[in-house]
């Protein structure tokens, strides 16, 4: 670890209460049967499985440490189409969005292998970022969060967007490298490099739990 990374991590100990953001660990993004149907490789499936396993362990560690867990989930409502996404995927902003993932009330929108406990905050989003058009910033303010750690799916998309918006809401952000995944190793590595350069401290789950133990939440 270089001196800058060490300084950043040490500063988080006194930066205020941490919160863990769990992003989009939902069936449509994590179920191997669904992903195989999209053509995700065996390597990609294994990476997602490992990230979900590590995220689930982090959730349990957060609960034991008194760290707030905030659940962020895509909740797509076909009555309110995401026109920019339709345009990007089909060439027309008014194209039908049949097959869009995580439709509200569908099995694909369900949490995969982990789930919120009673009383933990849940944030439903329409877009990539957990902050875009949601009450996430207000929820974190109410929790007294001074910094956030981000885990879940996928690294190059909703993790990246949420981490950048955390930085733009003036919250130091940690992205947990082994508790996130993309569907290819190249996308995952590239996203982590971009995040480390511009928006977040990237660290493994083991380093994050050590910070939680040292932070004010444990005092």
Domain boundaries, the chain: 23-84+100-218
Instruction: List, in order, residues 6 or more apart from 122 with CB less than 8 Å away.
Output: 70, 71, 72, 73, 116
The conformational region for residue 52 under phi > 0 = left, psi -120 to 50 = alpha, else beta, is alpha
pLDDT at 190: 98
- Segments of the chain scoring below 70 in pLDDT: 216-219
DSSP element (H, E) containing 22: strand 17-23
CB contact at 8 A, 104 and 136: no
Was domain 23-84+100-218 assigned CATH 3.40.50.850? yes
What is the rounded CA–CA span in Å between residue 171 and residue 155?
19
First to last CA, the chain: 26
pLDDT at 219: 47
pLDDT at 216: 63
């Amino acid at each position: 670890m270089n001196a800058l990374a060490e300084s950043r991590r040490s500063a988080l100990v006194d930066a205020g209460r941490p919160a863990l953001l769990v992003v989009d660990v939902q069936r449509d993004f994590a179920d191997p049967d669904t992903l195989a149907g999209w053509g995700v490789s065996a390597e990609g499936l294994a990476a997602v499985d490992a990230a979900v396993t590590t995220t689930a362990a982090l959730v349990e560690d957060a609960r034991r440490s008194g760290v707030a867990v905030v659940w962020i989930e895509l909740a797509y409502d076909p009555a309110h189409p995401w026109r920019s996404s339709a345009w990007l995927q089909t060439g027309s902003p008014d194209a039908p969005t049949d097959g869009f993932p995580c439709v509200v009330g569908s099995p694909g929108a369900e949490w995969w292998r982990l789930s919120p406990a009673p009383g933990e905050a849940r944030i439903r989003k329409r877009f990539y970022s957990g902050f875009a058009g949601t009450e996430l910033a207000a929820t974190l303010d109410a929790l007294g969060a001074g910094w956030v750690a981000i885990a879940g799916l996928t690294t190059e998309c909703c993790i990246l967007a949420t981490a950048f918006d955390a930085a733009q809401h003036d919250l130091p952000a940690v992205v947990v490298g082994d508790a996130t995944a993309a569907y290819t190793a190249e996308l995952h590595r590239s996203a982590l490099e971009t995040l480390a350069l511009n928006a977040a401290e990237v660290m493994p789950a083991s380093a994050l739990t050590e910070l939680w133990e040292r932070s004010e939440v444990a005092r």
